[in-house]
């Protein structure tokens, strides 16, 4: 899918864009339609076409093949020594700008499964220091690292000594104790 780059500037300018992939610093090579470590400026140039009539001063370009990544886009003035006149960062997914919130309809099943797998396999030790008392992290810690002495239930962090939360427990000698969970 094509990514549409759209900017507004003074009319009758000659502008071009360069696109840098942030995770590795590679630039979009407009000649080969792929990312490269250090293409020449002429290979990086993406010409921006100015609109006509009521769209004068509006410049656009369509680029395909950008992939799914975070990009830094620079707009250059081709009439003035290629200086950068504007710069911004955009997140694209298969060439489409990601904006707003992510909904279940915007995630493919495989991405949803990867997120779920990561959550289920993540150690509670990654969040225990900042997790509030009333959180899923506390429930997990209570299951794995806790003890009751008298009327105090101490829920400990994964090191087994630092108290994450304390709760008061009430007992009833007439209640039937739980002896097994099958």
- What are the φ/ψ torsions at residue 125 (nearest 5 degrees)? -65, -20
What is the CA angle 96-100-102, rounded to 5? 80
Return the CATH number at 67: 2.60.40.10
- Domain interval for residue 18: 2-98
Q: Is 0.85 topped by the overall pTM?
A: no
Question: 111-156: per-residue pLDDT in tens?
Answer: 778 888 888 888 888 888 988 889 889 999 999 889 988 889 999 9
Bridge partners, residue 72, by sequence: 20, 89
For the chain, what is the domain count? 2
Helix intervals (H) in 88-135: 109-121
Q: Residue 63: name the closest of 55, 73, 53, 77 by CA.
A: 73
Question: 59-93: per-residue pLDDT in tens?
Answer: 888 888 888 888 888 888 887 677 888 888 888 87
The reply to whether 87 and 11 lie within a common domain is: yes
């Amino acid at each position: 899918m094509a990514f549409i780059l759209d900017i507004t500037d003074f009319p009758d300018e000659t502008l071009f864009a360069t696109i840098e992939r942030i995770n590795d610093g590679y630039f979009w090579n407009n000649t080969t339609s792929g990312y490269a470590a250090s293409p020449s400026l002429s290979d990086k140039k993406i010409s921006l076409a100015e609109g006509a009539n009521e769209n004068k001063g509006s410049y656009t370009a369509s680029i395909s093949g950008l992939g799914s990544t975070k990009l830094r886009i620079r707009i250059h003035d081709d009439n003035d020594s290629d200086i950068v006149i504007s710069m911004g960062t955009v997140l694209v997914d298969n060439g489409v700008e990601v904006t707003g919130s992510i909904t279940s309809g915007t995630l493919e099943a495989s991405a949803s499964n990867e997120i779920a797998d990561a959550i289920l396999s993540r150690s509670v030790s990654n969040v225990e220091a900042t997790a509030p008392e009333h959180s899923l992290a506390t429930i997990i810690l209570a299951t794995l690292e806790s003890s009751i002495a008298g009327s105090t239930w101490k829920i400990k962090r994964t090191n087994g000594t630092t108290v994450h939360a304390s709760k008061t427990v009430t007992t009833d000698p007439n209640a039937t104790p739980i002896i097994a969970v099958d």
